[in-house]
Amino acid sequence: MAPTWTATVLTLFPEMFPGPLGASLPGKALDSGIWALETVDIRDFARNKHRSVDDTPFGGGPGMVMRPDVLASAIDAVAGGGEDEALIYLTPRGAPLRQSRVRELSGLRRLVVVCGRFEGVDERVIEARALEEISLGDFVLSGGEPAAIALIDACVRLLPGVMGAPEGLDEESFEGGLLEYPHYTRPNTWEGRQVPDVLLSGHHEKIGTWRLEQAERITRRRRPDLWRRYRRERDS
């Protein structure tokens, strides 16, 4: 079976993969050939015997910067171009990753992810290779590899055949612009806390209304930014 989707990761630490991507749902899908994972060691494209990939920043400052010539060579060796491929650079200064973009990326043929290290990569390679800068949140990691794993996992679970009940994807957080409603299971009473009566009623329309109300309430309280966007889109 030929994979329908491939993730190619450019990294200084290929041994970090597949990591969690080799377990649970993504791991099963990887083993069954629904998707494929490729790792490329950026050091293989270094230009000296020491396999150096970084240098001191022009203008001074702490840390090191990944060289544009080395990184560009790695990108050029794997990127085929075309509308069915995305080139992603994971960085805290990137655009926030949203579920809508995850869906778009999962619908492509291939995702090429550049994992930065040190203080980042030379700006010229970002511009010259038109890398799309994406951020997972307002925090800093030691490198792009953990973020790449999270991004790939988010995409893989949307591929056909990965999730056992694909219709459930439509009710998850962010799919309708809202955070997800609360979930309950047995026992009906636990430590004096009751399952809401409406969920035991068997009345699907009332349950649906309750879940929407709860999703709106939670989103309004916890993510006012999402709530404002949801209201704008709903009222437009």
Q: What is the pLDDT of residues 13-55, one digit of tens each?
A: 999 999 999 999 999 999 999 999 999 999 999 988 889 999 9
Report residue 9 as tokens: 């990761």
Structure confidence at residue 81 as a pLDDT band (50, 70, 90): confident
Query: What's the chain's average pLDDT?
Result: 93
CB of 205 closer than 8 Å to CB of 153: no
Report residue 207 as tokens: 């349950």
What was the pLDDT predicted at 11? 98
Alpha helices in 85-167 (DSSP H): 99-106, 123-128, 145-156
CB of 41 closer than 8 Å to CB of 14: yes
In angstroms, the Cα distances linking 194 to 190, 205, 225 are 7, 21, 31
Tokens 């949140």 locate to 137
Dump pLDDT digits (tens) for 84-127. Answer: 999 999 999 999 999 999 999 999 999 999 999 988 999 999 99
What was the pLDDT predicted at 49? 84
Tell me, what amino acid is at 106? S
**pTM for this model (two decimals):** 0.90
Give the DSSP H or E segment for 27: helix 24-32
Report residue 211 as tokens: 């879940």
SS3 call for 132: strand
Cis peptide before 20 (omega within 30 of 0): no
Query: Which domains does the chain show, CATH number per domain?
Result: 5-156 (3.40.1280.10), 171-235 (1.10.1270.20)
Q: What is the mean pLDDT of residues 202-221?
A: 96
Query: Cβ neighbours of residue 23 under 8 Å, at least 6 residues apart?
Result: none
CB of 36 closer than 8 Å to CB of 7: yes
DSSP string, 55-89: EPPTT--SS-EE-HHHHHHHHHHH---STTEEEEE
